[in-house]
Amino acid sequence: MSCNKVAIEVQNITKSYQLYAKPIDRLRQMFTPKKRTYFKEFTALNDISFKLQKGDCVGVLGHNGAGKSTLLQLITGILTPTSGQIIKKGRVAALLELGAGFNPEFTGKENVYMNASILGLSKREIDEKYEDILKFADIGDFISRPVKTYSSGMYVRLAFSVAVHTDPEILIVDEALAVGDIRFQMKCIKHMEMLKENGTTILFVTHAPEQVQRFCNKALWLDKGIIKTFGSSSLVCDQYRSYMSQGDTPEMPDSKATSTATRIHTYAPAKIISTKLNKQCFSPLELLSLEIEYEVFDEEVTDFLVGAAIYSSKREFIFGPNTYLENVDIPSSKGKHKIKYSVPKLTLLPGEFSMDVGIFCDKGLVTIDYRSMAENFNVESDYFSEGIFYIEHDWEVLS
């Protein structure tokens, strides 16, 4: 990797905090020799190093408390490291905490000019981009009102619009986008795709490895403040899913958790109406078919797709195809539609299973509606074979 192509270089970064049981202990520490301490030290990040090339899109994975947000705050300069250094090449724009950098007493317009100028734009440049920022945020007359009167969704709309319209060479996004409604998430993903195509380096935090695989070329997995794995998104996500499914790790919000949040918005462009399996009890190698009925409320939903996933009784992910990956055209125009998903020979061996069904857009990055355990079924038979799957095979006597 040539040096002139490096966008971010993190060199042996450590970030530690001093945790005091009582406020008075902080004062005592100031007047006490260093050999005696009134605090416990917590290390959020411990001696981590990596390099990102210009144009890399990197998903940052890890359970709560792993150090993801701390890392992004260090890269943006909100926090300073305890030791180590971070080298950045290019203009950085970030969407981290809700409304971070906004003055609640200022109007939306005043905050646009203030934030954009902090990010390095001149007044003339902001004047040229102001109408585009306003159009993308789509908050109407609220742009002239104090930000303290905004809903959480309006905060995100305006903050993201400012960040992406400052022509960033590095864009850093925490999980704040989950607050926006589905249509705005769709708009944001499309804009991030455009930035990625133009060579912007992107880092974003998510709990969903599926998003990372679909959107990123690289992934960084943090665990207890250290880098567990860093590399290609497919490799890291597979390892992360395997680790999280072991059952001795903190519970990980996944795509169905995200969908629960998105379904509360009243302006979803579509919804699942019903699902129906052809039967509830199967024998190995039988036909399984699932009917999925959904309704589209918009005139057309672009990049629309349907997915169906099979899970074991322990919620182990077994198989999850979708219409986008398999280049299947399905109706996405206004109205009710029904499709059928079929497995001609169900190769599962006896056990209890469930199926999740979801409708998405933008390669599956935005969840429109999701039903966890939409259908349950059993596979039963006499002693047939051993394991989870039946794999076609042959035996041959050689001597």
pLDDT of residue 217: 93
Give the whole-angstrom CA distance, residue 25 versus residue 224: 26
pLDDT at 172 over 70: yes
pLDDT in tens, 208-233: 888 888 889 999 999 999 999 999 99
pTM of the model: 0.75
Highest mean pLDDT among 22-31, 176-185, 250-259, 264-273: 22-31
Alpha carbon separation from 9 to 23, 29, 35, 123, 222 (Å, rounded): 37, 35, 35, 31, 17
pLDDT at 260 over 70: no
Alpha carbon separation from 296 to 258, 284, 308 (Å, rounded): 20, 36, 18
181 neighbors 112 (Cβ within 8 angstroms): no
pLDDT at 353 over 90: yes
pLDDT in tens, 56-109: 999 999 988 889 989 998 998 888 999 999 999 988 888 776 555 788 899 999
Candidates 230, 231, 302, 311; CA nearest to 270 is 302
pLDDT at 143 over 60: yes
302 neighbors 296 (Cβ within 8 angstroms): no
pLDDT at 185 over 60: yes
Alpha carbon separation from 197 to 55, 68, 77, 216, 259 (Å, rounded): 8, 25, 26, 12, 27
Using 50, 70 and 90 to split pLDDT, how confident is the model at 206? Answer: confident
**Architecture of domain 256-379 in this structure:** Distorted Sandwich (2.70)
What is the separation, in whole angstroms, between the first and last Cα of the chain? 54
**Architecture of domain 3-244 in this structure:** 3-Layer(aba) Sandwich (3.40)
Kindly report the average pLDDT of the chain as a whole number.
86
Which sequence spans correspond to the domains of the chain? 3-244, 256-379
